Amino acid sequence: FYLGTLLLLVLESPSTNAYSVFSSHPALVSTCENGSCASSFTASNRMARHESSRLNYRNKGNDMLMYDSRSDPPNGKGKDGNSGGRIPSTDGVFMALAKTESWISSTLEKSNRSAGPTGQMPEGNPYVRKEVSYVCETSDEVATIVAGIFRRLREARETGEMHGRIQEAQIMEKGPEYSPGTLRQTNVVVIPSSDELKSWHDYDNLIQVINQARRNSRDYVINSAMDKDSSEREWVVSVNCAHLHPNYGEKTSKEIMEEMKKEEEEGEVDMHLKEYKERRLQARRSPYPTLVLEVRALPPPDFGESTPPPPAEAMQQEEEVDGKVTSDDIKKLEALFGKSVALDHPASSKDQDEDDDDDDDDDDDDD
């Protein structure tokens, strides 16, 4: 029903080869262009109905339900197991996103249950801070999925760098008293349609190769920082890529045999440690293969209120501040001349010499 309605909508709008559903609230964005679909929403249970939408959604009053209770396959494949390039079912996209959202919410609630009052989500939960957005990658081809991952990584870094440039412009406009804000965003990418990524080991190897390629590009690609103005401050932008899977941490037969052999050699098994490892694995076993992309943009570290003066000016300032002779100066003189330095005042030395002369005269008179 939804697919037929969407096709009618495309036929009615020949000038565009896409359909989209947007919300006035930051809850849901669903787009499809050239046979590739992506849907995303933030933590919200309902969304306002778009005024210009021609889709006949099941609605309740003025609100449109975000989830459909019907559970069709998330990738919209046919009987032969192939999608045939068709647009995946929007019900399946929403179902995959809803299932992942519910799983993340319950997992965070269990892990942070002791951090807040009963019945309230703790403030440390990023779900409460509205920093998590969800995207569904509907392609079932690994090459397209990998290209989409690299594209999202690039867009995340560009978002962080753009935030830094905007904040620097605000500092230039409002003066140094302006306090720049930091950026932190988390993007959860759900990949429910690929049969090749159902294997944990294949999926893990793929993400490890992507992260290794990112490290190589950071280490080997020449940065143009030398061409930048010395007065321009460069923000610290970091992009992290973590992955989740229904079979996260699944061990091969060889790894299981090695673990059993190690337990036999040790003679005892720490049940608390084993239970902790199992809970940690369960916290990473999402309903579908999932990526978690996090971008952070922080202002440049300021180790002092002002830049240190050049060495020559620093030495001159030190001489002007204190003109007294210090113990360090005496040690330098002793090392230079190879003998001790008299610390007596010149006037006292002169008086001592006169006393010595008087003593000599008295001795002559006695003679």
The strand pairing partners of 243, in sequence order, are: 291
CA distance 339 to 341: 7
Say if residues 53 and 21 touch (Cβ distance below 8 Å).
Answer: yes
Q: How confident is the model at residue 223 (pLDDT cuts 50, 70, 90)?
A: low
> Which pLDDT value is given to residue 348?
53
> Highest-confidence range of 79-93, 208-222, 342-356, by mean pLDDT?
208-222
Say if residues 34 and 17 touch (Cβ distance below 8 Å).
Answer: yes
The strand pairing partners of 30, in sequence order, are: 21, 39
CA distance 270 to 262: 13
Residues in the chain: 367
Q: How confident is the model at residue 159 (pLDDT cuts 50, 70, 90)?
A: very high
Average pLDDT over residues 307-316: 54
What single-letter amino acid sits at 115? A
What is the tens place of the pLDDT at every residue in 37-67? 444 444 433 333 333 333 344 444 444 444 4
Angle (nearest 5°) at CA 190 between 186 and 196: 135
Say if residues 193 and 141 touch (Cβ distance below 8 Å).
Answer: no
Q: Give pTM, 2 decimals.
A: 0.56
pLDDT: which is higher, 97 or 326: 97
| 291 CB burial (10 A radius; 0-12, 13-18, 19+) | buried
CA distance 56 to 227: 55
Angle (nearest 5°) at CA 356 between 351 and 360: 145
pLDDT: which is higher, 110 or 107: 107
Say if residues 242 and 292 touch (Cβ distance below 8 Å).
Answer: yes
**pLDDT greater than 80 at residue 248:** yes
For the chain, domain boundaries: 89-107+128-222+232-248+285-300
The proportion of the chain whose per-residue pLDDT surpasses 90, expressed as a percent, equals 19
Say if residues 268 and 162 touch (Cβ distance below 8 Å).
Answer: no
Q: How confident is the model at residue 325 (pLDDT cuts 50, 70, 90)?
A: confident
> Which pLDDT value is given to residue 271?
78
